[in-house]
């Protein structure tokens, strides 16, 4: 942190991370060597020897995954070995969802469109990996009664598919928009099957859990725990950091992402 306002509660030189709110919907532009940031968008990071490249692949994706599956989805509240479907498993949030759920002993199924990513997702920790084209055929075989929590990262237009494989009293958490389609045309509440829950997880300008300062200590605690486990090798860097690019190569980075080549996070290194 280069400078800190007197009423911000932060100090110059502190190591912090900032969360982007809105996911590109409200404002364009996020590449800069310096930026102004409100205090409620900032979280302290612990002392660590991890490189900025590695740290850059952790905070927003790891917290989004944690908030989606544990806070919104209540995965831990479903039982000691609950079942999680990560629909869009090779995305950065999807990879962190796999890592975090497996770290707590849950059973994880991930989906991908690309056969070449199956082995990587299994190496990360997914118990089962299903190709998107085989989803409707394979899901009933693996989980005939459905799964406890579905993390929907492909998009709201896939909500009906996710709800169809959700167990009784299970939850679908819509978090991602990989399809870039922000809604499901013609959606009605009556489309939600009885005894299934549909919710959304996102961060707002009022805080990480929807209210100013709500979740501040939780976010910093989760990030500290994740960073500690990265340092120890429990969460190997290669499992969540796919590739990094210099700022001057940002066009190549976007092409890499848009061609669905990544499994995990793509980091842009900004240097002054």
- pLDDT tens digit sequence for 116-167: 999 999 999 999 999 999 999 999 999 999 999 999 999 888 888 999 999 9
Neighbours of 234 (CB within 10 A): 11
Q: Report domain extents, the chain.
A: 16-60+205-269, 74-200
- 58 closest CA partner among 73, 71, 43: 43
Collapsing DSSP to helix, strand or coil, 243 comes out as strand
- 78 closest CA partner among 180, 173, 189: 173
Rg (CA), the chain: 19
Pick the CATH number of 74-200 from 3.40.50.300, 3.40.50.720, 2.30.110.10, 2.60.40.3880: 3.40.50.720
Q: How far apart are CA 90 and CA 73, in angstroms?
A: 19
Distance of CA 44 to the CA centre of its chain: 19
Cβ burial of 115 (10 Å; 0-12, 13-18, 19+) is exposed
Query: 15 phi and psi, to 5 degrees?
Result: -85, 120
| Strand pairing category for 147-152 and 83-87 | parallel
Q: How far apart are CA 264 and CA 267, in angstroms?
A: 10
Query: pLDDT tens, 2-46?
Result: 999 999 889 999 999 987 665 555 556 667 788 888 887 888 999
Q: How far apart are CA 217 and CA 235, in angstroms?
A: 22
Query: pLDDT tens, 46-83?
Result: 999 999 999 999 999 999 999 999 999 999 999 889 99
Among the residue ranges 127-141, 165-179, 206-220, 232-246, the one predicted with the least confidence is 206-220
Distance of CA 132 to the CA centre of its chain: 19
């Amino acid at each position: 942190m280069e400078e800190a306002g007197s009423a911000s509660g932060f100090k110059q030189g502190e190591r912090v991370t900032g969360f982007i709110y809105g996911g590109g919907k409200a404002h364009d532009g996020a590449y800069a060597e310096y930026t102004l940031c409100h205090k409620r968008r900032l979280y302290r990071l612990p002392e660590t020897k991890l490189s900025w490249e590695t740290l850059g692949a952790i905070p927003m994706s790891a917290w989004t995954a944690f908030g989606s599956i544990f806070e919104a989805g209540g995965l831990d509240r479903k039982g000691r070995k609950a079942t999680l479907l990560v629909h869009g498993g090779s995305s950065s949030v999807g990879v962190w969802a796999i890592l975090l759920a497996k770290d707590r002993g849950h059973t994880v199924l991930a989906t991908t469109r690309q056969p070449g990513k199956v082995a990587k997702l299994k190496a990360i920790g997914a118990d089962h990996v299903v190709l998107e084209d085989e989803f409707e055929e394979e899901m009933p075989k693996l989980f005939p009664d459905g799964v406890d929590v579905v993390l929907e990262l492909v998009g709201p237009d896939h909500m009906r598919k996710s709800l169809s494989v959700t167990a009784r009293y299970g939850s679908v958490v819509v978090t991602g928009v990989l399809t870039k389609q922000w809604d499901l045309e013609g959606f009605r509440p009556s489309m939600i099957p009885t005894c299934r829950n549909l919710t959304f997880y996102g961060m707002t300008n009022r805080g990480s859990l929807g209210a100013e300062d709500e979740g501040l200590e939780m976010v910093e605690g989760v990030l500290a725990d994740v960073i500690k486990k990265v340092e120890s090798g429990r969460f190997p860097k290669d499992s969540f950091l796919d590739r990094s690019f210099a700022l001057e190569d940002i066009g190549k980075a976007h092409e890499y992402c848009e061609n669905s080549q990544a499994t995990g996070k793509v980091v842009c290194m900004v240097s002054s």
